[in-house]
Amino acid sequence: MILEIDGLNFRYPDAPKKAVDSFSLQVPESEIVVLAGASGCGKSTLLRAINGLIPHMYAGDYSGDVRVGGSSVKASSMRELAQRVGFLFQNPENQIFMFTVERDIAFGLENLGVPRQEMRRRVDEAIGLLGIGSLAQRAPYELSDGQKQRVALAGVLAMRPKLIILDEPTSLLDPKTALDFVDLVANLRKDVGATFLIVEHRLDLLVKVADRMVVMSSGRKVLDGSPSEVLMGDEADGFGVSIPAVSRVQKLLAKDGLAGVDRLYDAEEVAAIRQRERR
């Protein structure tokens, strides 16, 4: 297990109720897990408890245990955690610090004091993985949103984390760029074997690549299963999860016994069933 969360509770100072409530989750290595739920359900807090910003940067009532790669987040330093857990924040603009792409990718490694040669190797590797060689000498303001996203992710990858958290990575991207980004994540999982925990509202983009879906509501874990289990079930709707249109149609077809619910169909399959029925 790369990530083990045991009965985590967290309450911000002066908050009336817990932001994360008796939350447990086990994630095996190189799985892609999608975390969904309405805004304010505690997703962001949970993510911060995994990469150590909670409790190291934000104080509050903390109980339970989070372990990444076997060691407790609470007992680890931010220095160790920065190398174990990569965090791609929602707005890439606010995580690019340097004036050139290349130097920004090196930012974390510079902070850790990694020797220059090793740093060069890792930066080039991250640039190669994301296919942003042509951007290496650009300034942040010369980049599009999609490019900024890749640069920020390269900075995360250069640290070679085992677990990578993506917080609503496509929220600022246009549909085509968003789709490319999802493909990129799938390829990265193959190439570097990292585990991904992705918070995302646009589930239609992710159903293809996700191994698992976890739904949160009021700080608790309410659903946990394969994408088909979660999306074909009856509960997801009630927790503010946007079920992809195709899956809705599949569900309706399943009611009439025209489709299965053991896996998610894509638009073509659903259309094929409709056509068959018409004839």
Partner 1 sequence: MMWLSGGFIFRSGNSRFHRLDPRVKLLISILTFATALIARYIYEIGLVVAFILVVAAAATVLTRIARTMALTATFSAFIFVVNFLFTRNLESSSLYAFRFVAIVVSTSLFFVTTTPDELERVMKMFRLPRDVVFAFVTAVRFVPVMMLDALQIMDAQKSRGLELDKGNILRRARNMIPILIPLVVNAVVRSGELAEAMESRAYGASERPTSLVEYRAKRVDKVVALAAVVVFLLAAYSFYSLLAPIAL
Site residues, partner 1 (CB under 8 A): 48, 51-53, 56-57, 77-79, 82-83, 85-87, 89, 91, 93-100, 102-103, 106-116, 119-120, 123, 139-141, 155-156, 159
Backbone angles phi, psi at 125, to 5 degrees: -60, -45
CB of 113 to partner 1, least distance (A): 4
* DSSP line for 28-69: -TT-EEEEE--TTSSHHHHHHHHHTHHHHTS-SEEEEEEEET
CB of 147 to partner 1, least distance (A): 15
Nearest to partner 1 of 51, 170 (CB atom)? 51
CB of 177 to partner 1, least distance (A): 19
Question: Sign (positive/negative) of CA torsion 196, 201, 203, 208?
Answer: negative
Nearest to partner 1 of 41, 53 (CB atom)? 53
Nearest to partner 1 of 47, 270 (CB atom)? 47
CB of 101 to partner 1, least distance (A): 11
Q: Calculate the alpha carbon distances from 145 to 86, 141, 149, 154, 259 in Å.
A: 20, 10, 6, 14, 39
Nearest to partner 1 of 110, 237 (CB atom)? 110
Using DSSP, how many helices (H) and how many strands (E) does the chain show?
12, 10
